[in-house]
Structure 1
């Protein structure tokens, strides 16, 4: 069938397809695919096409990628969007995790977190994400003020994603919440914000819902059980944080056990579960995670500067574990630049196992994170995959002399901005600028709100 025309079976009409052609790239990289030849990618109705059609050139939108490198859109598999309103707070850097948690919790109380603040912080964080080449973000939201409807909190985050054009996986997290109330709110969020969703994902793939207790340190078996049950009922993915400093200490104190042993006992080591951090994990626990089919998210730019540990990523990969990459939130990692964090993951890998090359790190930042969300249509540029892609400019002095521009994305100038970003075949960043909103206006709104609430004083 002509790539530019599809039959409308219901009305017997012929409808023009939405076509985007990305032309002139010097290299295209996707997990399992690399090219150093000038390449044209065609996106049809939000999907990567199989080749380039011969007709309909007049109706296709063209995006110039002259000399650039194309990668899949990056997938930030672990973020806390709200924390973008709480970056570099005094007393929250280089401290023990138990101290950090208490200070952040008090900051949320003092700021009177509500849907307005959640929405503004999410819009900033998601705009920043797109401007760093991230097209999908998993937001593990853990702050639920008394008297504020969780449905409104989730709605504010979803609306922010729609404003800027990013995909959002919203994780209804818990930190000592009432188990039944938390589970009930998951069902209400699903009903209110995921119309027609299947397995927790809307038909256009722009919204996803998951569940996620904070960890053993904050939630007990009743919470894990209640959220696990509602996840089964609605077909949602499950996520939690494990084997950080405070998690290991509290599990030993409360149960005399290791966190992963408890998660296994509570039914939370399974293929639909993703575990974030895993800074303190033994060889036998690596085998346990690999054997159960769970996936993992690495967050080195959170864990390392805070002194919380280094996850043995290479050992996990070598054990057959699917590993994604996340920035975590602005309360511990003040930037949302996943490409820079991929470089950090690559650089510190020898300290916790073996060296890791740039393509392994890029795979973590794309397909690895997507697979942990159960979204195998994301994080790759194969026919039929979602047309989420990034065009990186490699013409500047930082890339001069680079033998291979794909690993050079990490080794040379990892803090770069993308030239173009496409989500579902729609251009959302063009020539280094957001398309749907003004970056400075988005930032100014949050700055004013933080000042009004006294955040950071």
Structure 2
């Protein structure tokens, strides 16, 4: 039996309605009420706030290899999409690059307190080894000790090829499994077209069939900017109208972005049971909008938080984006409280993945947690150390990160890989 005890924290955030002091106990990778301390690994949390591991509900890990590219910043999405496509074509997307980019993006995530990443992979060159690409991302996560939700996406792919690929990926990576989650909870598979702006109804239908066959979650992007314009031009309808008509509003569906939504659309999403993901670190700096998170939450929609990819958000630092989400919320409604946004970055994101065991530190939950040191000068004068996690110290990184009871970051450093090697290998591959 493996026992980890986290002791001496300033505060322990169990969930959005419970902040306490005292020990956090992990037994065989699961949060427990208590355990025999003999032989346990004791982690000293003096001066720290302990939270559940953060859950990045919307990332594009491949874009980690394509950050700050000239001509891709502050431009209309209609121009950004082909600029990124050209960069992908020049680099040559293959199994190697997929794995190296995922490894770098996941390492960045873990070092910033993210223990689960949902990777919406949208770039699949014709004739590519799609199973190999998915496997490369999954192996990168396994090597680092992170949880991965690999989303077999589509962006102008042939619908039948996309569906066949998704089916093959599930059968290869999760053989004999129904529900899309590995027995140890470290790997999950989902499906999701990029959106109605790029994919026809047939793609949504066929990937939906794969989801039903294997019990997978469905994910897509909606009501950001370009999809609203294109949907109206092409179909005479808005994206959520089409998604509802195509059967892509339901409890197993998560919609990323939702910057441009009406009150009626919010009500329909809420009634369907679909969840949402806010991605301010992408949408705000690019000028693509701000999702009305307060209105979404007030309607009863579970809202998670994601960074989106490095092609539009050059960082994969979810806590920094949580801070941004809190700050910009006042531009579109009442300001969100730090506790609400922290909940979005943990339980809210987990709920959108159908993973109630993640994003919480209650007995029976996964043993994923972070220790955030709040004893330094950046937190001097802070009245509420939990709110201070977001308000104070932009770019804060955790001292210790634990995933399934395993220490993967210790004293701010990876325990499972060499950070310098990860960086060098990616730069070597993209020749920058």
Q: Counterpart of 1:47?
A: 30
Contact 1:18 1:60 in 2 (8 A): yes
Gaps of 5+ in 1: 1-16
Q: Counterpart of 1:256?
A: 236
Is the counterpart of residue 23 in structure 1 residue 3 in structure 2?
A: no
Q: How far apart in 1 are the matches of 2:394 and 2:297?
A: 23
Q: How far apart in 2 are the matches of 1:129 and 1:79?
A: 10
Q: Counterpart of 1:7?
A: none
The 5-angstrom pairing of residues 114-129 of structure 1 reads 114-129=94-109
Q: How far apart in 1 are the matches of 2:201 and 2:14?
A: 40
Greater shift after overlay, 81-90 or 17-26? 17-26
User: Residue 345 of structure 1: which of 325, 329, 333 is its match?
Assistant: 325
State the TM-score, normalized to the length of structure 2: 0.99
Q: Counterpart of 1:35?
A: 19
Is the counterpart of residue 150 in structure 1 residue 130 in structure 2?
A: yes
Q: Counterpart of 1:195?
A: 175
Q: Counterpart of 2:423?
A: 443
Shift of 1:184: 1.1
- Backbone CA RMSD of aligned residues: 1.0
Is the counterpart of residue 246 in structure 1 residue 226 in structure 2?
A: yes
Q: Counterpart of 2:154?
A: 174
Segments of 4+ moved more than 6 angstroms: none
Counterpart secondary structure, 1:25? coil
Q: Counterpart of 2:354?
A: 374
Q: Counterpart of 1:294?
A: 274
Q: How far apart in 1 are the matches of 2:102 and 2:304?
A: 21
Shift of 1:280: 0.6
The 5-angstrom pairing of residues 10-159 of structure 1 reads 17-37=1-21, 39-50=22-33, 52-53=34-35, 55=36, 57-159=37-139
Q: Counterpart of 2:198?
A: 218
Is the counterpart of residue 410 in structure 1 residue 371 in structure 2?
A: no
Q: Counterpart of 1:5?
A: none
Shift of 1:59: 1.7
Gaps of 5+ in 2: none
Q: Counterpart of 1:422?
A: 402
Shift of 1:58: 3.0
Q: Counterpart of 1:394?
A: 374
Q: How far apart in 2 are the matches of 1:258 and 1:437?
A: 45
Contact 2:16 2:340 in 1 (8 A): no
Q: How far apart in 2 are the matches of 1:40 and 1:364?
A: 24
Q: Counterpart of 1:359?
A: 339
Contact 2:16 2:339 in 1 (8 A): no
Shift of 1:30: 2.8
Q: How far apart in 2 are the matches of 1:220 and 1:354?
A: 37
Shift of 1:366: 0.3
Q: How far apart in 1 are the matches of 2:281 and 2:229?
A: 22
What per-residue deviation string (whole Å, max 9, x for no partner) do you get for residues 116-157 of structure 1?
011001000000000000000000000001221110110010
State the TM-score, normalized to the length of structure 1: 0.93
Counterpart secondary structure, 2:23? strand
Pick the structure with greater CA Rg.
Answer: 1
Counterpart secondary structure, 2:8? strand
Shift of 1:401: 0.8
Greater shift after overlay, 189-198 or 158-167? 189-198
Contact 1:45 1:425 in 2 (8 A): yes
What per-residue deviation string (whole Å, max 9, x for no partner) do you get for residues 141-176 of structure 1?
000012211101100100110111100000000011
Contact 1:324 1:364 in 2 (8 A): yes
Q: Counterpart of 2:165?
A: 185
Is the counterpart of residue 434 in structure 1 residue 411 in structure 2?
A: no
Contact 1:196 1:203 in 2 (8 A): no
What per-residue deviation string (whole Å, max 9, x for no partner) do you get for residues 274-313 of structure 1?
0000111111111111111000000001001001011101
Q: How far apart in 1 are the matches of 2:291 and 2:309?
A: 17
